[in-house]
Amino acid sequence: MSLNLLPNQAKFQVKKIRAIALSRKIMITFLIIWVVLVLVVLGLEQGEKWWLNKQNMGYKLVVADYLQSSPEIVTSQTIKFRAKLLGKVLADRFEYADAFKIVGTAFDDSIKIKDFELKEKSFFLVSVVVEDNQTMKLLENRIGEINFGGEPAIKKIVIKSVVFTKVEAKWLLTMEVYLK
């Protein structure tokens, strides 16, 4: 830059030099701010990547541990489920065993139970064979006694069919037995 020492020109050149210096300061300040911002953004990005990698490694360790122990967990849960299911089945079977016992012992030994079938939880269909009139009266009396509350475990007995065979001289009764 060349200096012209004329007073008019000198004032103008001083202002020009000051304006150039000011613009350089502003440009350098913006450049420094821009470089600092770029460095901060890059630092944050690198910090985020580092933190994300650290979290990802922790996640991978947990997943690997889970996958390693998952068959044991599934087996354990399956065993627990099956044990509960078996417990419920056994509890029901013991109830049914008691119900079968009640129905099997409800009548005198002279009355032959041909078969009995569980229709519902407390409802049985029972077939009985009676060989003579005396035993038939005994059966009728026992049914009346049960229907009037003589047996605490049996609610009522309903006779559904009665068949008498002349050839064998036997009575075949089909009854519905309702338990309490």
- Is the model more confident about 3 or about 80? 80
Rounded to whole angstroms, the Cα distance separating 87 from 78 reads 14
Instruction: Write the CATH number of the domain with boundaries 105-179.
Output: 3.30.1360.100
Mean pLDDT of the chain: 83
pLDDT for residue 16 is more than 80: yes
Q: What is the pLDDT of residues 124-179, one digit of tens each?
A: 888 888 888 888 888 888 888 888 888 888 888 888 988 888 888 788 888 898 88
Q: Considering only CA atoms, which of 127, 133, 124 is closest in space to residue 112?
A: 127
Mean pLDDT value across residues 116-124: 79
- Is the model more confident about 59 or about 167? 59
Q: Lowest mean pLDDT of 32-36, 97-101, 145-149, name the range.
A: 97-101
> Is the sign of the CA dihedral 109, 110, 111, 113 positive or negative?
positive
Rounded to whole angstroms, the Cα distance separating 165 from 171 reads 7
Looking from the CA of 73 toward its CB, the CA atoms found within 13 Å total 6
> What is the Cα 107 distance to its own chain's centre?
46
**Percent of the chain beyond pLDDT 90?**
24
SS3 163: strand
- Is the model more confident about 25 or about 107? 25
pTM greater than 0.95 (yes/no): no
Rounded to whole angstroms, the Cα distance separating 95 from 91 reads 6
Contact call for residues 176 and 158 (beta carbons, < 8 A): yes
Instruction: Count the neighbouring beta carbons within 10 Å of the beta carbon of residue 125.
Output: 15
Looking from the CA of 97 toward its CB, the CA atoms found within 13 Å total 6
For the CA atoms of 75, 77, 81, 82, what is the dihedral angle to 10 degrees? 10
